[in-house]
Structure 1
Amino acid sequence: MPERKRPRPSNTCQVGDRLKLHRHRLRADGRDYNVITLRPGTRARFSTNFFHQTWHVLSDPHGARVLSRLLWGLSFQRRPNTVVIIDRRFIDPNPFDAEQGDPIALVPAHLTHLPARTTGQLSRRVPAPEAACSGTVRWHTWGLDAAMDAWRADRADSDRLLWRSANFGRAAEVARLNGVLSVRAEPSLLRSWAVHVAAMNDHAYEGMAYTELEGPRWELCRSDGEVQTFHDYRRRVSVATVSRREVLSSENVPGEAAELQPLIWNHSATVRDRRFSV
């Protein structure tokens, strides 16, 4: 049996225009979907969590740059039923209490209707052997760098903290659907999100940066979302994973997440001191 081609090491960290991605043609609930995924071996990693009534997409600065390219390129797609899925191969436990994150679906509202059941089906099928890749695509993101420059210039010349397009569509939603975090918006809003995600680390504070995934002007998302990055994201995931394992192996472990999470958070300090103290 021929061995599958593996991405060159230099391609696994690529975050510029014409990003290499994989296309899968999958059928679910009577519809054909054009599913775009990251290639195996891609360095970017993500997680998700729900905190303060907000869904968070979590990563490091590299992951944020990849996400911004995915959002920007998606806004220009023309094929109906196109969706970008960041599947479980690229999803970590979250860096706080190491609860496993959810796959992420980026949905162009003007092209794709993706019910909850279908979202779950596509997410589960993408990494499966039978969901063979239909080919490699070059993800065009022309215009993103210029939009970032314009946003930075606008921010430098005014006291406004947010750049908004005057032509936002009205469809926006960040919500968990059947075990998948669905990030859905119309093209102008996808592009606005892409700019904010791409530039969010310009003003990181103590290694952390965030940007809100807000809805169109005068209309908030039905479930607010946020992208948050940490420069030491991978180390945080590692520490939280060890902390969770050790807390769960102790006696009298609470069954409720609200009681378990503070124990993991507190024990993470012990794990960090043990692993990284000089």
Structure 2
Amino acid sequence: MTRGTAARGRRQRPANARAAADGMKLHRRVLRLDGRDHTVIGLRPGTAARFSTNLFHGTWHVLSDGHGARLLGRLLWGLAYQARPGTLIVIDRPFLTSTPFDADPADPIVLVPGWATPFGPDAAGDLKARLPLASAPDGTVRWRTHGLDRALDDIRAWFEADSPYWSPDRGGVERLRGLIVVRPQDRVTARTWAVLSGRMHAPRRHSRHAYLGPWNHGHTGEIQIFPDFRRKVSLARLARAQVLEGLRLEETQTPGLTLDALWAMDGALSGTDPRELPAGRRNELLGELRRVKGRLVRRGRRR
């Protein structure tokens, strides 16, 4: 990481917004967390990447597309060479979006070098209370990622030279005070996660994933990308809005969402002809509809 000059809130040029390259500019702030100063690195306005998070089968997922995965790889690779205590990276609004499954909101993401930055519940709580970071940054940095392009060009040679696959994965992902904390515990793990993320390119119809953390009846974290991530997010938002509106209309005895519309929305999300949805999937959707309605009723009782 190379220290830059004081920032003036300028947005990136359009050509730079899509860039995830060596030397990209990031914002730097100094925040007091848990009684100690921390250097908090963040994305600059105009950055095109978007991320989401969710918990599935006990694993915390960081969700994006191929561009987001490459950007995440850059951040992790640069973090691997971070020696300054108290440094961490935050991905928060406006770079977060809802999930592409059910349009649930995402949690802020924090990348923490476990060998250099202690980050416990008190620090996480202090940081969460400051988000989103609305104050002007203290400056910018050039995020240097020397060696990552060479590793991605010949991944096999890099793995054989650095032998990270033969080193234990020392890291994990957890939710801490409302933050998704991605924490490699050593530099080799950070570089390995960077390569696993940076190498992912989603094909036209399928997702790709990379596990984070050692296996212990499951992994604590996973990066998952989709080729049409933003389209899935938009469709999920539309489906959620229509389902909730249908439930509201149902409660007022007004004709609302039809089953045919529900099958059509699920087919649009999965790329399946609604007429070909299996009976089991239709039963799952009906069950989820009942659960959503139950949650809304319980929320209404608490108000």
**Alpha-carbon distance in structure 2 between the residues aligned to 1:31 and 1:104:** 20
Q: Give 3-state SS (helix, strand or coil) of 2:28's partner.
A: strand
Q: Give 3-state SS (helix, strand or coil) of 2:29's partner.
A: strand
Residue aligning to 1:269 = 266
Normalized against structure 1, the TM-score is what?
A: 0.81
* Residues 222 and 112 (structure 1), Cα distance of their counterparts in 2 relative to 1, 3 Å cut: farther
Residue aligning to 2:199 = 199
* Residues 169 and 236 (structure 1), Cα distance of their counterparts in 2 relative to 1, 3 Å cut: closer
More helix by share: 2
The one-letter code matched in structure 2 to 1:179 is G
Residue aligning to 2:225 = 229
Match of 1:6 among 5, 11, 30: 11
Given that residues 23 and 34 in structure 1 are in contact (C-alpha distance below 8 angstroms), is that contact kept between their aligned partners in structure 2?
yes
Q: Say what the alpha-carbon RMSD is for the aligned residues.
A: 2.8
The one-letter code matched in structure 2 to 1:104 is I
Say yes or no: does 1:147 pair with 2:151. yes
Alignment map for 1:1-278 (pairs within 5 Å):
4-129=9-134, 131-152=135-156, 164-168=164-168, 170=170, 172-185=171-184, 186-201=186-201, 204=203, 206-215=205-214, 220=216, 224-251=220-247, 268-269=265-266
**Alpha-carbon distance in structure 1 between the residues aligned to 2:209 and 2:9:** 37
**Alpha-carbon distance in structure 1 between the residues aligned to 2:218 and 2:36:** 26
Q: Deviations over 1:48-98 (max 9, x none)?
A: 011111111000100000000000000101110100010122111100000
Q: Deviations over 1:149-187 (max 9, x none)?
A: 3324579x9xxxxx73445574x1201111110000121
* Residues 70 and 221 (structure 1), Cα distance of their counterparts in 2 relative to 1, 3 Å cut: farther
**Alpha-carbon distance in structure 2 between the residues aligned to 1:108 and 1:10:** 30
**Alpha-carbon distance in structure 1 between the residues aligned to 2:145 and 2:264:** 42
The one-letter code matched in structure 1 to 2:144 is H
Q: Deviations over 1:117-159 (max 9, x none)?
A: 3223224425343x3201110000001112223324579x9xx
Given that residues 25 and 32 in structure 1 are in contact (C-alpha distance below 8 angstroms), is that contact kept between their aligned partners in structure 2?
yes
**Alpha-carbon distance in structure 2 between the residues aligned to 1:4 and 1:154:** 38
**Alpha-carbon distance in structure 1 between the residues aligned to 2:183 and 2:231:** 30
Q: Give 3-state SS (helix, strand or coil) of 1:226's partner.
A: strand
The one-letter code matched in structure 1 to 2:205 is E
The one-letter code matched in structure 1 to 2:164 is R
Number of residue pairs matched? Answer: 250
* Residues 152 and 112 (structure 1), Cα distance of their counterparts in 2 relative to 1, 3 Å cut: same
Report the alpha carbon displacement of residue 5 of structure 1 after superposing the two structures with TM.
1.9
Report the alpha carbon displacement of residue 214 of structure 1 after superposing the two structures with TM.
2.8
**Alpha-carbon distance in structure 1 between the residues aligned to 2:187 and 2:217:** 15
Unaligned runs of 5+ in 2: 1-7, 251-260, 275-303
Percentage of pairs with the same residue: 44
Q: Give 3-state SS (helix, strand or coil) of 1:251's partner.
A: helix
Report the alpha carbon displacement of residue 116 of structure 1 after superposing the two structures with TM.
2.1
Given that residues 242 and 271 in structure 1 are in contact (C-alpha distance below 8 angstroms), is that contact kept between their aligned partners in structure 2?
no
Residue aligning to 1:260 = none
Q: Give 3-state SS (helix, strand or coil) of 1:249's partner.
A: helix
Given that residues 21 and 36 in structure 1 are in contact (C-alpha distance below 8 angstroms), is that contact kept between their aligned partners in structure 2?
yes
Report the alpha carbon displacement of residue 270 of structure 1 after superposing the two structures with TM.
5.8
* Residues 102 and 268 (structure 1), Cα distance of their counterparts in 2 relative to 1, 3 Å cut: farther
Moved over 6 A (4+): none
Unaligned runs of 5+ in 1: 158-162, 254-263
The one-letter code matched in structure 1 to 2:132 is P
Residue aligning to 2:4 = none
Q: Give 3-state SS (helix, strand or coil) of 2:112's partner.
A: strand
Given that residues 213 and 219 in structure 2 are in contact (C-alpha distance below 8 angstroms), is that contact kept between their aligned partners in structure 1?
no
